[in-house]
Each structure stands twice: as C-alpha cells, then as structure tokens.
Amino acid sequence: MGYRETYERWQDDPESFWLELAEDIDWVEPPKQALFDRGNDTYEWYADAKLNGCYNTIDRHVENGRADQVAIIHDSPITGTKSHVTFREMRDRIAALAGVLKAQGLAKGDRVVIYMPMIPEAIEAMLACARIGAVHSVVFGGFAANELSVRINDCKPKAILAASCGLEPGRVVAYKPLIDGAIELATHKPDFCVILQREQQPCTLTEGRDLDWYEAREGVAPADCVPVEGNHPAYILYTSGTTGAPKGVVRHTAGHLVALYWSMKNVYDVEPGEVFWAASDVGWVVGHSYICYAPLVHGNTTVVFEGKPIGTPDAGTFWRIIEEHDVRSFFTAPTAIRAVKRDDPTGEERKKYDLSRLRALYLAGERADPDTILWAQDVLGVPVYDHWWQTESGWPMVANPAGLERLPVKIGSPTVAMPGYDIRVLDEAGQEKPRGQLGAIAVRLPLPPGTLPTLWNAPERFHKSYLATFPGYYETGDAGMIDEDGYIYIMARTDDVINVAGHRLSTGAMEEVLAGHPDVAECAVIGASDPLKGQTPVGFLCLSKGVDRPHEEIVAECVQRVRDQIGPVAAFKKAVVVDRLPKTRSGKILRATMVKLADGEDFKLPATIDDPAILDEISVALGEVGLGKKAAS
C-alpha cells in the first residue's frame, strides 16, 4: 500500500486504522476502542486499554530475541568515550533505578523532574519512570535555575533525577548549583533527588535529600513494570508559548507508542534491529520521541550523542558516527547542517567516511532552507527529507513517508500530511484558503494518537492556546500554504515564538526578564534572521527617565539577566537602547516591522503607524550592533 491508499484508509475509517496499528504494541489489556470523545473538543486514545511504556520499549525485546542487541550506543566526543548498552543490560539498569524510586515511595502518577546531559542514564531515568507509571518531565540542561524552578512549581515533582554536571565544549556545566538554586527558588520542594556523579565534576550531595545513583541501589529490589491506562500521562514536556510561563505539553502513554512505532518504518524507513540516530537532546521533543521512545519501541538501536556538529572535534563528527555505528537513518536540525557546511563547505570531512549504508537525512525543528538541503544532498548522496512537527504533536505531522513510498521531493516543502492529520490553511475568519494561498495552518480535530490531549494543570490555557481561534481545529501557530499536489509549505510562526538554532524560544519570556531590569521602562524582543541559527533574539530597551548610566553597561546587564534567568540556550547576546518603540496608533508594538528593519529588508510602512520617524532611530541603533540595511548589503 502506498501513501495515498494509506491516507485514504485512515480517512475512511480512522477507528479501525488506529486499532489495527495498536497491534504493534504489547498490551496488558488491549484496546477495544481507539478514540474517546471527552466533549468540549478534547479527545483521548486507547483509554480503555492497559500497557506499560518501559515494557514496550525494553522488556519485550529482551523476551523476543533482542536481549543481546545493543539498545543504546553512547558516543561522546567531548569526553572521548563510547559505550554500548544491550536491551538486557538496559532492562536491568532501569529496573534497579525504578526499584530505588519505588523504595523512596514514588508511585504511579507521581511526577519526576529529570535534568540530565546526553548520557544513557538520561534514557534510563525516563524509562525507570515509565516502568512504575511515574510521569517524567525532562528539563533541557541549557535552561537556568529559574526556568527549572518554574517547571518544578508547575508539575510538583516528588523527585529530581540529575547528573552532577553536563559538558559543553570547553566548559563544565555544574548541575548541582542549578538544582539547589531551583529548589530554593521553588515553592514546591521535591522529597528527594537521585544524583549521578560524573567523574568530570562530582558534587557534594545534600544530606537527607540526595541519594547517589548507584549506592541507592544496594539492598533494593528491582521494580517490575506497572500496567497503566492508555491515557495515563507518560510525560510532561514544557515548551515555549507567547508568555513567560511555559506550556506543559502532556503525552499519554498508549497513543504515542502506537504512533511512534508506525513512524519508524513508514517515515524513517528503518527495520527493527537497525541503528537510528537523532542528533538532538533528551530535553526536546525530538529527544523524547526519536532518541528514546520511538527507536526503542520499534526495536532499533538508538545513538545518544554528547557533542556538537562542529568543534567536537571537527565538522566530520556526524559522518564518523554514521560510518562507525552503521547509522541507517539520521535526523538533525537544519542549523546543525548549516554549521557543518560553514566549517567544511566542500565536504572534505565527509569524504573521509563511508556513508554508503545511510539511507536518508531527515531535517526538522525549524525551516530547512533550500541551500542547506541541496548542499546536504550533494555532499551525502542520499535523499534529504524536510519534515514538520512540534512538541505538541510528538511525531511528524507533515513528512515524506519514505518507508511507505518515496514521494518526489519539492525543495521548500516538508511534503504531505501524515495519516491522522487533516491539515487545512485558514484565513482569519476560519475559512479555508484556496490552494497556493498563505494562511494559518490548522489541523481538523480530533488530532491523532500521540498528540497532546491537554496542558498540564491548564485545561483552559489548552483551549485558549490551541482550540479557540478556529472552532473544530487545532491551531498550530505556523503559517503556510498547500499547493495543488497537496504539498504543504511552512513559512513562519503566527505568534511571538522564535526558533534559535532549532530551539523554540519565547520572545515574551525574554521581554519579561528585560522588563525586570530596574532601568528598563519598556522593551521588545524580536527574532532577526541569522545565517547559522535561523533566528537570533534582539532586544530593544527604552530606559526609565533620568537613567544616565552608560548604555553598554545596561545592555551587558540585560544580556546577563536573560542568561541567568532563562539560560544560555536563549542565546540572547544583542540588545540596543532606543528612545521609543515603533507602535500603532492603538499602542501595539510593530514587531514585524522591526524584524524587517533588522534584516535590512524593504517593507511597506504600516498604515497604522503612530510616528514613522521612530523607524529611522531604530535603524541607526540596529546599525550599531551590525544589523539592518547596512549589514545586509
């Protein structure tokens, strides 16, 4: 069956389509019904069934002949180490850690925050939670203590699982002070922490609160898999919204395993037993889905990579890993390929490696620009597939279903809607736009299994953020169009979310931090185009009356403030002091116009602008930090 037939099979009878795909998963009690309509435009999947996420990703493979197959390859060019963990070893390690959590009183439904670098223990931690039905919330290591505390307050974890440090090139990131700081800031306090001591920088454990990852196992019985309902939350993953408060995307257990299993063969074109590599981080959705759950549920070997595309040690790292570990399907962000291309434009590093067994490169997380796709295709000699999805969907919404049928690639389009997604382009009134015309991208409800059923602790926000604008649809927050052949094009966000190096960030959150500076009266943050990272945040600061300190000092403090409060991942390095911000007569800041100015692009003067002269002032200020017309020419 090809793509069209599969998509139509789903359209004709979604219930039996999803029940049939559910057969790829092992159930304690199989589902009799796929979709559950909970009213008020909310839906759940496989709610009548019982299963366990860890059993499906690990134990069943041990029982079905894959015990000695490698489950995880850890490759860390930063530490110069490599290791392999089999499914059997993984099961035993996870059961031991789950035993510790259980012995400490953790039970089904309790939340656990995980703050770990890219090491196998991060996967061990996620699946130990799944084993006992605890709900994990992984926080990316590049977030600061304040962001960690916001998440602790929201999901109220009983435990934190963490490593003593993370490793960035040339820098050890001590996690313990961040964890201590976050717990101090948070109003909710976890009962205990389990800390993995890394030799690069061990830490002092806090008595009465912290347990050592390995010592805590002594004398503790390993834990068995606890059956959970299909709609039991597997995890909460916080993602950026328009405001400073992150959204806790909830993922239910059964739906995501079913959908992820399907995607491994049909999208990523791998057979069980083969090596699949997503070069992302467990702190992002790509890491949850395609480093941890999807490859493992499908019986693939997954690569946990602790390094960067360049500089660890060179632009050949990706290609070395692909050859050395026999990676058949590789997934990364366009930024990473741009970084490699910048360092090695003629692909000299790539020539050192045999990549003949690699089938394809998959790109997602941000817009894949045609230059990057063409370069990668040329250098690698394999198809390069752009595909589009988001934290909320958990798996690709639009992709080239290469394992089902290799559709012709149209550069600039991530290709077509995956089964389960009825994607439409709407105008502001919610009417469908004709083919080829730009509009808001929305998905007709219900969303398929694996997608978010709600936001943690915030059902009203879930409705307001995603369901209210276009009744009957999920609003993706992206704008784009569909062409005559049904190919979908993603052009831009419709909100204040920006994408910096494949990382989703909120300009609103940065504005909240800047506004907290005592000398800042008003501010705005925009995403200016960046040749490497796609976008880069730029702050505009209007100072309070009477402030006469040097502007460089205030800018430096603001940069430090964002780093301290959001984290280095915000990559907030540029800000300018201006007298006023350009606004409409009704007082709305003209952010889109400021983006055009920063990018040095021509634009039409907004009819509603209050005082066009401000734009000249903004241009001058941008010129001072190397942005705007001059920089572009």
Residues lying near ligand COA in the complex (CB under 6 A) are found at: 141-142, 166, 168, 173, 279-281, 284, 286, 308-310, 332-333, 335-336, 339, 365, 501-502, 532, 568-569, 571
CA distance linking residue 402 with residue 330, whole number of Å: 13
User: Which 8-state DSSP code applies to residue 464?
Assistant: I
Q: Is 388 exposed, middle or buried (0-12, 13-18, 19+ CB in 10 A)?
A: buried
- CB closer to ligand AMP out of 399 and 578: 399
Question: Binding string to ligand AMP for residues 389 to 428, with x set by CB under 6 A, is what?
Answer: -xx----------------------x--------------
Q: Out of 285, 315, 498, 594, which residue is the one contacting ligand AMP (CB under 6 A)? A: 285
Strands 275-278 and 301-305: parallel
314 backbone φψ class: left, alpha, beta (φ>0; ψ -120 to 50): beta
Choose one: 83-91, 125-133, 177-185, 387-395; the region binding ligand AMP (CB under 6 A): 387-395
- CB closer to ligand AMP out of 287 and 449: 287
Q: Out of 209, 493, 563, 591, which residue is the one contacting ligand AMP (CB under 6 A)? A: 493
365 binds ligand AMP (CB under 6 A): yes
CA distance linking residue 76 with residue 73, whole number of Å: 10
368 binds, options ligand AMP, ligand COA, none, Cβ within 5 to 8 A by partner type: ligand AMP
Can you tell me which residue has the tokens 């939340």? 111
- CB closer to ligand AMP out of 287 and 307: 287
Q: How far is CA 140 from CA 110, 151, 190, 283, 339, in A?
A: 20, 11, 18, 4, 21
Choose one: 29-37, 115-123, 381-389, 614-622; the region binding ligand AMP (CB under 6 A): 381-389
386 binds ligand AMP (CB under 6 A): yes
Phi (first) and psi of residue 115, to 5 degrees: -130, 90
Q: Out of 422, 478, 519, 599, which residue is the one contacting ligand AMP (CB under 6 A)? A: 478
CB 173 to ligand COA: min, Å? 4
Task: Find the length of the chain.
Answer: 633
Q: Out of 74, 504, 551, 596, which residue is the one contacting ligand AMP (CB under 6 A)? A: 504
Classify 373 as helix, strand or coil: helix
542 binds, options ligand AMP, ligand COA, none, Cβ within 5 to 8 A by partner type: none
What tokens were used for 162? Answer: 């963490």
Judge whether 152 and 128 are in contact, CB under 8 Å: no
- CB closer to ligand AMP out of 389 and 572: 389
Q: Out of 140, 192, 362, 388, which residue is the one contacting ligand AMP (CB under 6 A)? A: 388
Beta strands, E only, 62-182: 70-76, 81-86, 111-115, 135-138, 159-163, 165-168, 171-174
309 binds, options ligand AMP, ligand COA, none, Cβ within 5 to 8 A by partner type: ligand COA
Nearest CA-CA partner of 474 in 516, 442, 521: 442
CB 331 to ligand AMP: min, Å? 11
Phi (first) and psi of residue 416, to 5 degrees: -125, 165
Choose one: 442-450, 471-479, 514-522, 620-628; the region binding ligand AMP (CB under 6 A): 471-479
499 binds, options ligand COA, ligand AMP, none, Cβ within 5 to 8 A by partner type: ligand AMP
Judge whether 113 and 155 are in contact, CB under 8 Å: yes
499 binds ligand AMP (CB under 6 A): yes
339 binds, options ligand COA, ligand AMP, none, Cβ within 5 to 8 A by partner type: ligand COA
Q: Out of 367, 551, 583, 596, which residue is the one contacting ligand AMP (CB under 6 A)? A: 367
CA distance linking residue 101 with residue 538, whole number of Å: 43
Phi (first) and psi of residue 487, to 5 degrees: -75, 140
Tally the C-alpha atoms within 13 A of residue 285's C-alpha that lie toward its C-beta. 28
Judge whether 183 and 190 are in contact, CB under 8 Å: yes
CB 214 to ligand COA: min, Å? 23
Residues of this chain, 294-323, that bind ligand AMP according to CB under 6 A: none
H-helix or E-strand spanning residue 534? strand 534-543
Beta strands, E only, 253-354: 275-278, 301-305, 327-332
478 binds, options ligand COA, ligand AMP, none, Cβ within 5 to 8 A by partner type: ligand AMP
User: Which 8-state DSSP code applies to residue 350?
Assistant: G
Number of residues that bind ligand AMP (CB under 6 A): 20
- CB closer to ligand COA out of 56 and 312: 312
Q: Please give the distance of CA 530 from its chain centroid, rounded to a whole number.
A: 20
CB 117 to ligand COA: min, Å? 6
- CB closer to ligand AMP out of 287 and 628: 287
- CB closer to ligand COA out of 302 and 332: 332
Tally the C-alpha atoms within 13 A of residue 114's C-alpha that lie toward its C-beta. 30
What tokens were used for 369? Answer: 């620009």
User: Which 8-state DSSP code applies to residue 511?
Assistant: H
477 binds ligand AMP (CB under 6 A): yes
CA distance linking residue 371 with residue 258, whole number of Å: 35
CB 147 to ligand AMP: min, Å? 15
Footprint of ligand AMP (CB under 6 A): 239, 285, 364-368, 386-388, 390-391, 414, 476-478, 490, 493, 499, 504
